[in-house]
Structure 1
Amino acid sequence: MPEVIFPGPEGRLEGRYHPQKSKDAPIAIVLHPHPQFGGTMNNKVVYNLHYAFYNMGFTVLRFNFRGVGRSQGEYDQGVGELSDAAAALDFLQAKNPNAKHCWVAGFSFGAWIGMQLLMRRPEISGFISAAPPANTYDFSFLAPCPSSGLIINGSADRVVAPADVEGLVGKLHEQKGITITHEVIDGAGHFFEKDHMDTMIGSVDEYVRRRLTENTR
């Protein structure tokens, strides 16, 4: 998979870009967990989400936020990281102007950034939020949430209490015009360790394929 360097708001950003042969393939970006707690684009959840989307026929980009790996800049409390994600989507769209659909996927901190990007970019037609940190960050900006998507977390998550995710989902369920699908992986921790990773990726695969089929009818 080709390594790419593309311009970000604070200098270059480092990514991994995995194109399809089809020029009108859907596109997806995958966002990594918190930069100050070891989060990188090579995190196992991010890596597996990346390949899940690629195997479903998406052209996919994952990248390091500012200050991570070879990406320039410094951690910016999520504000700059949102700008990085927007720059990544710009780069992906410029390379794929004929893409049929655009999705965003994020894990933990990346899920929070992804949901903010969703609010700013109406072309995003679906999202995956894995273990969104509803206990740490304010998600009230999702008013209303503009797209349907999947929120997925583990029942044994000790970083983000399942009850906090349930509360976020409950608020989103009150909104009209979108469908929020919520799946809880029984026994899984925050990082979907061991066999839980395959279960989580299987759920994502099933959800995204169903959405794509619905959109082509």
Structure 2
Amino acid sequence: MSLTEIPLLLEGPCGALEALYLGRDDARGLALICHPHPLHAGSLHNKVVATLQRAARDAGYATLRFNFRGVGQSVGEHAHGEGEIDDAEAAARWLLAQHPGLPLTLFGFSFGSCVAACLGGRLEDAGVAIERLFMLAPPVQRFSVDGRLPQHAALTVIQPEADEVVTPAAVYAWSAALERPHELLKVAECGHFFHGRLNELKALVLPRLQS
């Protein structure tokens, strides 16, 4: 069985969405991965996104990472978050259709973490169970997710302590005020893009997928 991703064009709200898909007959679950901000060079090829895909692959998941509208071969223009949630929903529903009955885990990095969080709440409200949600360096000061999180998914927030893009203190305060159960993992001496720390990131994520 090949564990190589294949390129696809999925049908999104504005037209085609560029994606990389790893399907497998023995999948234990599904992983959808949302990339960082489209207006700041975010794409499905981001190194953090690729690391999350490899962690999910190694844990036995079928995976899908995709470009939001206006990025790469994806049709459309940046829609300030709300349209990107629609894109993510289209990608998630495509992935769920390929593997009926398997649990869905959502990943997001930076901007994509807030998109994934809001998608999780939307899907849960529609009766789709979300097993886990991973939010990496979520820009909660700029993209409100209050009242939009899934309530039944296991939630892990991973925040670099030396983040130069997202204010760590804001993430810690948001986490402290969050009433639903979750875990907050702080990565010491680490910047926003996890430069030199990708192996450590994978080591944090992988056992949580295997549990």
What's the TM-score bracket when you normalise by the shorter of the two chains? over 0.9
- Structure 1 CA distance for aligned equivalents of residues 152 and 114 of structure 2: 15
- Structure 1 gaps, min length 5: 211-217
Q: Where does 1:7-156 land on structure 2 (aligned, <5 Å)?
A: 7-22=11-26, 25-99=28-102, 101-122=103-124, 123-142=129-148, 145-156=151-162
Identity of aligned residues (%): 33
TM-score (normalised: structure 2): 0.92
SS in structure 2 of the partner of residue 184 of structure 1: strand
For the aligned residue pairs, the C-alpha RMSD in angstroms reads 1.3
**Could you say which residue in structure 2 is the equivalent of 1:3?**
7
SS in structure 2 of the partner of residue 125 of structure 1: strand
1:111–1:21 CA distance, 2 compared to 1 (3 A): same
How far does residue 87 in structure 1 lie from its aligned partner after superposition?
A: 0.1
- Structure 1 CA distance for aligned equivalents of residues 151 and 113 of structure 2: 14
- Structure 2 CA distance for aligned equivalents of residues 145 and 160 of structure 1: 24
- Structure 2 CA distance for aligned equivalents of residues 184 and 55 of structure 1: 23
Residues 120, 150 of structure 2: 8 Å contact kept: no
- Structure 1 CA distance for aligned equivalents of residues 149 and 161 of structure 2: 26
- Structure 2 CA distance for aligned equivalents of residues 135 and 120 of structure 1: 21
- Structure 1 CA distance for aligned equivalents of residues 113 and 151 of structure 2: 14
How many residue pairs get matched?
Answer: 203
**Could you say which residue in structure 1 is the equivalent of 2:163?**
157
Residues 136, 157 of structure 2: 8 Å contact kept: yes
4+ aligned runs moved over 4 Å, structure 1 = none
Residues 41, 64 of structure 1: 8 Å contact kept: yes
Amino acid aligned to 1:148: A
**Could you say which residue in structure 2 is the equivalent of 1:214?**
none
129-138 or 105-114, which moves further after superposition? 129-138
Deviations 1:62-87 (A, max 9, x none): 00000000000111111110000000
**Could you say which residue in structure 2 is the equivalent of 1:215?**
none
Deviations 1:42-96 (A, max 9, x none): 0000011011101100000000000000000111111110000000001101111
Amino acid aligned to 2:62: T
Residues 117, 149 of structure 2: 8 Å contact kept: no
How far does residue 21 in structure 1 lie from its aligned partner after superposition?
A: 2.6
Residues 139, 168 of structure 1: 8 Å contact kept: no
Residues 117, 150 of structure 2: 8 Å contact kept: no
TM-score (normalised: structure 1): 0.90
Residues 151, 183 of structure 1: 8 Å contact kept: yes
Residues 122, 148 of structure 2: 8 Å contact kept: no
